[in-house]
Amino acid sequence: MGDFGKLLKKIWHFIWYEDSVWSWIINIIIAFVLIKFIIYPGLGLLLGTNLPIVAVVSESMDHGMVQKCTQCNYLTESCTKYQYEICGQYSDTRTSLNTDEYWSKCGKWYEDRGITKEMFSTYKMDSGFAKGDIILLKGINYDKLTVGDIIVFQSGLPYPIIHRVVKIDDVIQTKGDHNSAQIEDTNVNEKYVTKDKIIGRAWIRIPYLGYVKIWFVDALTYLTFRNPYPVCQNPALG
């Protein structure tokens, strides 16, 4: 028992006090195991969803002018011209937008569907959020879902979509605040989001922390010679 106690003390000292490469590696492994198999599932159980945390990987909910590729060389999948864009409107310079300026550029789409500026101002995260933010989710009661809520739902893409609910009928319709229109393609149809596709509802925003995941994914895909976010894509879809 004495030898076993000494061994435990030695392991404890190695993990928490020794300043070596191997000690750092072990600490990283322990942190990963704790987060992956204890903290993350526990948080999911507490919040009522199997995906309690998401990192925002696109600008589709950003209320500012963001850089988009407007001219592509599809032979090389490279961009030859960039502009700043929001809701299908472009500028050669980056400008920040206040609430009135955002609505002047993006509000018509909502007004045509009966959503006024005053109504929009009462919505959750009415100023949107940015790429690199972390969003905490809560499990969702479908009957209590309302227009203006932000939901995460499964898509035909490798990752889920986080967009705002703009209509509730027999199915749910969503749209990204930054986008000029709803997405309708073979992978995502925002005019037909069924109940079984919904993962959770946005609850709390934590700015910038999601860049840790984005940088890690970008580095991994760079090492495997793949591009997870193609340069030449429809700029209106975020």
> pLDDT tens digits for 113-134?
999 999 999 999 999 999 999 9
Q: Strand order in 198-206's β-sheet?
A: 53-55, 134-138, 198-206, 150-153, 161-168, 172-175
Residues 41 and 84 in one domain: no
DSSP string, 4-52: HHHHHHHHHHHHHT--SHHHHHHHHHHHHHHIIIIIHHHHHHHHT-S--
Q: What is the span of the domain harbouring residue 124? A: 53-237
What residue has token string 């909502």?
110
Q: What is the dihedral of CA 16, 17, 20, 24, to 10 degrees?
A: 20
pLDDT tens digits, one per residue of 21-57: 888 888 888 877 777 778 777 877 887 888 899 999 9
Q: What total number of domains does the chain contain?
A: 2
pLDDT value at residue 205: 96
Residues 202 and 157 in one domain: yes
Residues 102 and 180 in one domain: yes
pTM of the model: 0.80
CA–CA separation, 93 and 2 (whole Å)? 70
Residues 33 and 58 in one domain: no
Residues 34 and 73 in one domain: no
Residues 100 and 167 in one domain: yes
Residues 175 and 202 in one domain: yes
Residues 169 and 99 in one domain: yes
Residues 228 and 136 in one domain: yes
Residues 170 and 139 in one domain: yes
Residues 188 and 145 in one domain: yes
Residues 130 and 218 in one domain: yes
pLDDT tens digits, one per residue of 151-195: 999 988 888 999 999 999 989 999 999 999 999 988 899 999 999
Residues 6+ away with beta carbon under 8 Å from 110: 116, 120, 166
